[in-house]
A and B are shown apart, each in its own frame.
Chain A
Amino acid sequence: MSQYYIGILILICINLIAVLGLSLMTGFTGLFNFGQAGFLAVGAYTATILTTRYAAPFPLALLAGMLVSVLSSFLIGYPTLRLKGDYFAIATLGFAEVVRLLVENLEKLTGGSRGIPRISLYTTLPITLIVTILALWLVANYVRSRHGRNCVAVREDELAAESIGIDSFRYKQISFAINAALAGLSGGLLAHYIGFIQPSMFGMIKSTELIVMVIFGGMHSITGAVFAAIVLTSLPELLRAAQAWRLVAYGALVVVIMVVRPEGLMGSWEFTPANIKALFNKLRSAQDEE
């Protein structure tokens, strides 16, 4: 496989890790996170500062990035997740801005708007694949566990969920923390794949791309998120000429999906062998009837 395709594959995996967290959080728990790139930035900068300055081992640096990202999720979640209303969404939007502000102005630590160059390229295909499969396994199992079902209950009707004894604040916070961990991981991997980081990589555009992947793939489907991450990461690579219009199309796409088919491409349908078999049986019986 040529270097170019390996690169795309690694980028798909890195995006997918962040999208998985977002899918759990926005799709399954109903929490809208507008500032995912902020968590990526936290993970990326923490990991990078550790590897470049303190020569920390890569896995340890990644873990530290995840940890700091999770801590910041508690910082935002604690005051806002208890409240009704859009406080949380506004706070995530503000969080991404605050992170950008800090990164740009704490020049001694982060290199300011020029960023940190010459990061060792620790992110290789095998590492990325293993981590991605691990993340996928974790999220898929979490969603199907009792805890995941509780998240869906909170999404569907918070009051009803609480009345049967689900601590909605706790489940929102857990979803948010898992998302932050995955976003931090994704950021750390990204930094050590690209080889440099700067604040502009973690702007609104990045948050937008990730949330569009979740919405496009289907908010209640893990395999939908995988599919969307593959398509929406590789498509812009292949269609570089239309780069400028890509975000215009993304914006329109989000509105059209919400208006026409809010459940996204896959809805809550999962791409599993059992489901495919069921689909074929349905098709066959439809043919027989004709």
Chain B
Amino acid sequence: MSTVLQQIINGISIGSVYALIAVGYSLVYSILKFSNFAHGGVLMLGSYFGYFALTLFGMPFWVALPLAIIGAGLLGVINERLAYRPIRMRNSPLLYLMISSLGASIFLENFTIVTIGPTFRTYPEVFAISPYMIGDLYIGRLDIIIFVIATISVALLTWIIYGTRIGNAIRATSYNMRVASLMGINPDMIVAFVFFLAGASAGLGGVLFGIKYTVWPQMGILTLKAFIAAVVGGLGSLPGAVVGAMVLGVTETFAAAFVSSAFRDLFSYALMIIIIIVRPGGLLGTVTGEKA
């Protein structure tokens, strides 16, 4: 019984990091209706920003973290500015945006390999690893801290989207960009802001993931988990992304613990395929018709 509980806690901890990444991806998807593959590149560089701030410049963690978040956010904005805005302005098919994001992702990943190097890097020890004992449960201190930081950030994002004026504008834009712009909302500004939020949350997710595991140029593949989480929860829905990420995190840790860690990812994809077949709108998504 205690192993099960243990795995649930581990799953929720990693799920909260997936949630951070998935929320950013979903935000962009809800506004521009395309899968931003470069999300992973931004995440990876955010993680590197944090790593270098800590190691090269010896900053304390509470300075390095905001720097990495802001750096990744700005990177997201620049990415949109250079790679997506000109395409958006032409009203080209969405396919072109997706292809462009693929290009940006390839560029970021390989530019990092050439300039920084292809090696895995380990974060310096930011938090003491000694676990807490509750009854006969071991709970890693790191897991708790990651969970708390991720939860606060997701709550903050949710508040920005649902509780503020600009959040209102974001939701209006995602509902209908044209009409929103008629109501005096500047869609370009909203898109830039959304890319900042998405980049920032990806950067934070990257740093947290880097602390728990490692940093490496291909870590952008992690966004695949965010895609799966978003699909499981409901593509384009924010609460859906969070729920999907938690379900995914728990599924993965259970698969790794009770079946085989080598086939862990297989279970993630199986989960996604089952959801697509059984409930294509996702767990929380409204089931829209096939030809919406």
Contact = CB atoms under 8 A, between A and B. Distances in A.
A259 to B, nearest CB: 5
A268 to B, nearest CB: 14
B132 interface: no
A201 to B, nearest CB: 16
A79 B266 CA distance: 17
B110 to A, nearest CB: 4
Contacts of A34: 37, 102
A208 B107 CA distance: 11
Contact of A83 (B105, B109, B290): B290
A158 B291 CA distance: 9
Contacts of A98: 265-266, 269
A79 B275 CA distance: 10
Given A162-B291, A258-B99, A208 B106 contact: yes
A251 interface: yes
B2 interface: no
Contacts of A101: 262-263, 265-266
A138 interface: no
B34 interface: yes
Interface string A201-216: 0001000100100010
A84 interface: yes
Interface stretch (A85-93, A179-187, A191-199, A231-239): A85-93
Interface stretch (B46-54, B90-98, B161-169, B190-198): B90-98
A255 B263 contact: no
Contacts of B203: none
A84 B292 contact: yes
Q: Which of A26, A80, A97, A255 has the most CB of B within 10 A?
A: A255
A262 B107 contact: no
Interface residues of A, number: 44
A30 interface: yes
A86 B228 contact: no
A259 B87 contact: yes
B269 A97 contact: yes
Nearest to A31: B95
A275 interface: no
A253 interface: yes
Contact of B107 (A84, A204, A211, A251): A251
Contacts of B110: 247-248, 250-251
A50 interface: no
Nearest to A254: B103
Nearest to A94: B269
A89 B98 contact: yes
B220 to A, nearest CB: 10
B24 to A, nearest CB: 15
A83 B276 contact: yes
A32 B100 contact: no
B273 interface: yes
B29 A86 contact: yes
Interface of A: 26, 30, 32, 34, 79-80, 82-87, 89-91, 93-94, 97-98, 101-102, 104-105, 158-159, 162, 204, 208, 211, 215, 244-245, 247-248, 250-255, 257-259, 262
24 contacts: A89-B35, A90-B35, A90-B224, A90-B227, A93-B224, A93-B227, A97-B269, A98-B265, A101-B265, A102-B266, A159-B291, A208-B102, A250-B103, A251-B107, A251-B111, A252-B103, A254-B102, A254-B106, A255-B100, A255-B104, A258-B83, A258-B99, A259-B100, A262-B92
Given A105-B262, A252-B107, 19 more contacts: A32-B95, A84-B290, A85-B235, A86-B35, A86-B235, A90-B224, A90-B227, A91-B272, A94-B228, A101-B266, A158-B291, A204-B218, A208-B106, A248-B107, A248-B110, A250-B106, A254-B103, A254-B107, A262-B87
Report the 5 A-B pairs with minimum CB-CB distance, sorted nearest first: A254-B103, A251-B107, A251-B106, A258-B100, A247-B110
